[in-house]
Amino acid sequence: MSKRILLVEDEPGLVLTLSDRLASEGYHVDTARDGETGLARAEQGPFDAIILDVMLPRKNGFDVCRDLRQRGINTPILMLTARGQVVDKVIGLKLGADDYLTKPFEMIELLARVEALLRRAPAAPAVSGDSYQFGNIKIDFRRAEVTRDDETLELSAKEFHLLRYFIEHREATISRDELLNEVWGYDAMPSTRTVDVHIAWLRQKLEPNPRHPHFILTVHGMGYKFIG
């Protein structure tokens, strides 16, 4: 499947050149011409990488980057900064960008940076002992406690087991039947609909925008996949 890239850039010429070239390299490219739209698209995601200009109408790239990270969206971001603005690069990286490129740049340089971002192993899961963290959610397995920004979330035992199973099998597509067997157990006789209902509840509690989930994804015709 081709990698999806979101390009947030307002210069029409650059948008055209970049999206053409990225498409010819086999990427699927979505574009947004201002910061607000870029943020909304990125939230709807998922994307494999975001190319984000700093100087944008409506909302600048720094604010977009900060908002995305605050909402727990960890898609790799390559920021495009203006020439000589060393401070841009520092701010960008501080706000959670993964790399930056100074304008004007050679196309080949941009492609190399994008490839490097995509190749980079997904951030090592933040597991330390009996805890796990994704986005702004933290799970303490021993205490069976889930917090968001240090605020405790009330999860039922079933929701907690479901979340744990997802984390243990992150990035794998898991069928509803597998979830029923593994989380509910062979003896239980709930329907796959039960799984969907519990997933919806979990999303309500964990996802920044439950209607456009970023962590618990639906894989159509297959089941679910946890990314985090």
> Do residues 114 and 76 touch, judged by C-beta distance below 8 A?
no
- Toward Ca ion, which CB reaches closer, 55 or 167? 55
- Toward Ca ion, which CB reaches closer, 22 or 32? 32
Distance in Å, CB of 105 to Ca ion, minimum: 13
Task: Tell me the window of 50-58, 129-137, 178-186, 219-227 that interacts with Ca ion (CB under 5 A).
Answer: 50-58
**Site residues for Ca ion, window 51-70 (CB under 5 A)?**
53, 55
Distance in Å, CB of 89 to Ca ion, minimum: 16
- Toward Ca ion, which CB reaches closer, 55 or 93? 55
Binding mask 156-175 for Ca ion (x = CB under 5 A): --------------------
- Toward Ca ion, which CB reaches closer, 60 or 131? 60
> Do residues 65 and 77 touch, judged by C-beta distance below 8 A?
yes
| Residue, CB closest to Ca ion | 55
Distance in Å, CB of 31 to Ca ion, minimum: 13
Size of the site for Ca ion (CB under 5 A): 3
User: Which of 4, 10, 25, 175 contacts Ca ion by CB under 5 A?
Assistant: 10
Binding mask 182-211 for Ca ion (x = CB under 5 A): ------------------------------
> Do residues 222 and 202 touch, judged by C-beta distance below 8 A?
no
| Residues engaged in binding Ca ion (CB under 5 A) | 10, 53, 55
